[in-house]
């Protein structure tokens, strides 16, 4: 399944780049397929491995802060793998044009 | 932590009430504190019990469908329990007025 | 359409109840059908009136803060009105049981 | 402000690529800065221009369908422009490593 998630530490000031850097280090080291974007990170995997990764990231942010808002969006489609690359390519094929990524 | 989640089955037509009824049965039978609203359900609990509940609901919807979009919002605040009732009450106290629920 | 929204001020500390009280005052005064829950507020209306309300709430929070995260979920279904009450009732009818709200 | 949005048509079957292609054509033609990812599209702009774009996309999907779920996440930070590129770069600088995009 494809999963996008975002963790926002609350109460640490309006600049949260240090916490996000810790989170991205964990994601990058996980070996799971991922793509980072300006609003979150998309990962692809089975329920358990994805949720374990998100839990680890969330717990890391909660170590240094009092509160965090974590948002998770799951797109689960039977029998489809490699969608982290295929979904945007499929749309580009339909449009006949390369999109900004 | 407080967690709101919503499961939308895709590809089963525009009326998805039967699937949502199955999901609400599971939530109601779980014994966990919950509040249902027109856009989702809020539950309160620790990471593992909440995520196990959501996984069970999501898997139930995937049994009858090909695809589902599940959205999860977590508000985790250290040392705060009973927030499923306290959060709205705290806002009502500040306003000095009862709100529609 | 049914719309749930949540505004989280960033950088004002981990207690954000004062800002949320301002937001709920605006929603309550709007006269639009709404229901508040521990994770957000659901309103029902047409695109323009709903978005004008959310914009007003968001701008009010940005007056006192440097940063805010606002999340909006829209469930738009042709020819259906009064869904802010009807959606949960329809699920309760299917289950044959009253749910916690 | 930075805004990610996703539109999911409900009731048109589990393959929704044709509708998403229509949406991406509108975004690409808008001239606004955007980045598409496997779970949504991030755009940067002022409230009115962003919401007009999302409204146009949402209304286009509702022309061919009975129901759509549209999700919008706004990250609004005073006095910051060009964040659609700068946010990820800032995290990469902190980590000292290029991330997958």
Q: Are the beta carbons of A73 and A50 closer than 8 angstroms? A: no
* CA–CA distance, C27 with C22 (Å, rounded to integer): 9
Residues in B closer than 8 angstroms to D5, CB to CB, are: none
Per residue in A70-80, pLDDT (tens digit) is 999 999 999 88
- Confidence (pLDDT) at B14: 66
| CA–CA min distance D65, chain C (Å) | 9
Following DSSP, what letter does each residue of B13-67 receive, concatenated? -S--HHHHHHHHHHHHHT---EEEETTEEEEES-HHHHHHHHHHHHHHHHHH-SE
* CA–CA distance, C17 with D67 (Å, rounded to integer): 34
- Confidence (pLDDT) at D75: 97
- Of A10-19, C26-35, D30-39, D69-78, least confident by mean pLDDT is A10-19
Q: What is the pTM of this model?
A: 0.96
Task: Write out residues in chain B with pLDDT < 70, as ranges.
Answer: 14
- Confidence (pLDDT) at B16: 85
Q: Is the pLDDT score of C14 beyond 70?
A: no
- A41 — pLDDT class (breaks 50, 70, 90): very high
| CA–CA min distance D66, chain B (Å) | 7
| CA–CA min distance A79, chain B (Å) | 9
The rounded mean pLDDT for chain A is: 95
Q: What share of chain C is helix, strand, coil (3-state, %, to 5)?
A: 45, 30, 30
- Of B2-16, B59-73, C16-30, C38-52, least confident by mean pLDDT is B2-16
CB contact under 8 A, D36 and A73: no
Q: Is the pLDDT score of C44 beyond 70?
A: yes
CA D64 to chain centre: 20
- C16 — pLDDT class (breaks 50, 70, 90): confident
CB contact under 8 A, A75 and B67: yes
| CA–CA min distance A50, chain B (Å) | 12
Residues in C closer than 8 angstroms to D76, CB to CB, are: 58, 62, 67-70
Residues in D closer than 8 angstroms to A28, CB to CB, are: 95, 97, 99-100
Q: Quote the percentage of chain D above a pLDDT of 90.
A: 87
Among A16, A25, A26, A39, which would you mutate to test the D interface (most chain D Cβ atoms within 10 Å of its Cβ)? A39
The rounded mean pLDDT for chain C is: 95
The A-side interface with B (CB below 8 A) comprises 47, 51, 55, 58, 62, 66-78
CB contact under 8 A, A71 and B72: yes
Q: What residues pair up with D9 in beta bridges, in sequence order?
A: D68
Q: Quote the percentage of chain B above a pLDDT of 70.
A: 99
Q: What radius of gyration do chain D's Cα atoms show?
A: 15
CA C5 to chain centre: 4
- A14 — pLDDT class (breaks 50, 70, 90): low
- Of A70-74, C34-38, D12-16, least confident by mean pLDDT is D12-16
3-state secondary structure of A80: coil
The rounded mean pLDDT for chain B is: 95
Residues in B closer than 8 angstroms to D8, CB to CB, are: 8, 10, 69
CB contact under 8 A, C72 and D72: yes
* CA–CA distance, D34 with D42 (Å, rounded to integer): 5
Structure tokens at C65: 């803060």
Give the list of residues 6+ apart from residue B52 with CB closer than 8 angstroms, or none. none
* CA–CA distance, C3 with C22 (Å, rounded to integer): 19
- Confidence (pLDDT) at C41: 98
How many contacts (CB atoms, under 8 Å) link B and D?
Answer: 24
> Nearest-CA neighbor of C46 among A37, A23, D58, B18?
D58
Enter the ipTM: 0.95
Residue B88 DSSP code: H
Residues in D closer than 8 angstroms to C51, CB to CB, are: 51, 55
């Amino acid at each position: 399944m494809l999963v996008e998630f975002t963790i926002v530490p609350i109460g640490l000031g309006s600049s949260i780049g240090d916490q996000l850097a810790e989170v991205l280090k964990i994601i990058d080291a996980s070996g799971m397929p991922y793509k980072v974007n300006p609003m979150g990170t998309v990962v692809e995997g089975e329920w358990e491995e994805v949720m374990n990764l998100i839990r680890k990231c969330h717990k890391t942010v909660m170590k240094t802060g009092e509160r965090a808002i974590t948002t998770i969006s799951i797109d689960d489609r039977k029998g489809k793998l490699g969608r982290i690359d295929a979904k945007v390519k499929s749309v580009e094929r339909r449009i006949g044009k390369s999109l900004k990524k």
